[in-house]
Chain A
Amino acid sequence: MTTIAMQVNGKEVTADVEDRTLLVQYIRESLGLTGTHVGCDTSQCGACVVHVDGKAVKSCTMLAAQAAGKTITTIEGIADGDTLDPIQVAFHENHGLQCGFCTPGMIMATKDMIARHGTDLDEKTIRSELEGNICRCTGYHNIVKSIQAAASAMAAAE
């Protein structure tokens, strides 16, 4: 067991965890933040994407102990009270989800994508940036549309 401390969605948390605990297990099972999903066993689907020190990572492919001392943001941490993040609004308005299982990962990946590439995103960039996020439902079309809409909304707000 190791005692780990980190900041999750703005709050300091500490816990004793087994060293083999994955970050996603800690987030879901110990912290009860079940918005972060587990969609595969092979580090390929991206349903588990969270931000560690501002960078998108697959929380199923990192130990909780590796995240000790770091700042974590999950899907639960991006809205401002009742005001949704512009990316959440865009997915809602553009039918960017069907079952919603991939959506938390898609939204966290989008936040990272816009942070790196800015709001001027073409379709090709968006599609190649989504390499690590799999959706079984939508065929990606409305996800791409949602991301474009989110980027435009964020550009307009700047």
Chain B
Amino acid sequence: MYQTTYHRPATLDEAIKLGSNDEAKYLSGGQTLIPTMKQRLASPESLVDLSGLSELQGIRADGGSLSIGAGMTHADVASSAQVREMIPALADLAGGIGDPHVRNMGTLGGSVANNDPSADYPAAVLALNATIYTNKREISADSFFNGLFETVLEEGEIITRISFPVPSKANYQKFDSPASRYALVGVFAARTDGNCRVAVTGAGNDGVFRMEAAEGALSASWSADSVGKNRPDPDDMIVDLHGTGEYRAHLVNVLAKRAVTAA
């Protein structure tokens, strides 16, 4: 790892001051950033640790939504009685990320900001039509993700909380790579106020996406039959040693049906 300077600010203002330049990077759980720095694929001159910021903590009900601090770990979300009661599919998703030690450090905000094409949380954010709150604005899920490892976050912008509308039905199906435990394909299906949304991670060569073709039929009738033969174009899928585009497109269809049935 290259040299870096570590800061742990106590306030959001101080963090933004330290983080608003292109040589700095925010550090949350470090479960993506530190491995990347160890491989020398990232070499920020300074690291601004967000773990001391109270604005990024806590899980609470907020009207018809569940508001989760960006600094909450995957273990916090998986074990929260409130998440379990309001959106059990989200607790299950968090409990299926990586392994127990990664879950004790990795955070919601880090995962969503990183937008890895195989990460789990982006599928939940998109399918549940969540709102991403930052230090300066609110961003809807549909306009937040911007291709592989890209989001609309600007330099120095910090995700503070994410607010998830509570669905009447929801389920996440993950077909994980037995080596890395990342999703080879993951499908999150949700029905909220009669509206259905299905989001797919792990598969798209442009990152997380919605399976809009199936959503209309699902809104009319929530059943695996409504998914029918719908599947994405194999040419738009990630192709790697784990699977071809054809294989991933097929998995998307199968997992979407399973998610709808299980929800």
Q: Which A residues are closer than 8 A to B by beta carbons?
A: 2, 18-20, 22, 41-44, 46, 49, 55-58, 60-63, 65-66, 68, 109, 112-113, 116, 129, 131-133
Closest to A50 in B: B101
Question: What are 21 residue pairs bridging A and B, where the CB atoms are less than 8 Å apart in the complex?
Answer: A2-B6, A20-B4, A41-B39, A42-B35, A43-B102, A46-B99, A55-B75, A55-B104, A57-B101, A61-B105, A62-B34, A63-B34, A65-B8, A66-B6, A66-B30, A66-B49, A109-B101, A112-B100, A116-B100, A129-B100, A132-B102
- Secondary structure at the B interface, as helix, strand, loop or mixed, is mixed
CB neighbours (8 Å) of B143 from chain A are: none
On chain B, the number of residues with a Cβ less than 8 Å from chain A's Cβ atoms is: 29
0/1 interface trace, chain B 173-190, chain A, CB 8 Å (1 if under): 000000011000000000
- Secondary structure at the A interface, as helix, strand, loop or mixed, is mixed
Partner of A66, one of B5, B39, B51, B99: B51
Q: Which B residues are closer than 8 A to A by beta carbons?
A: 1-6, 8, 27, 30-31, 34-35, 37-39, 47, 49, 51, 75, 79, 98-102, 104-105, 180-181
Given contacts A2-B6, A43-B35, A66-B51, 8 further A-B contacts (CB under 8 A): A20-B2, A46-B101, A55-B75, A56-B100, A58-B105, A131-B98, A131-B99, A132-B102
Known: A66-B30, A113-B100, A129-B100. A57 touches B105 (CB 8 A): yes
Q: Report the minimum CB–CB distance from B147 to chain A (whole Å).
A: 25
Q: How far is the CA of A66 from the CA of B29 in the complex (A)?
A: 10
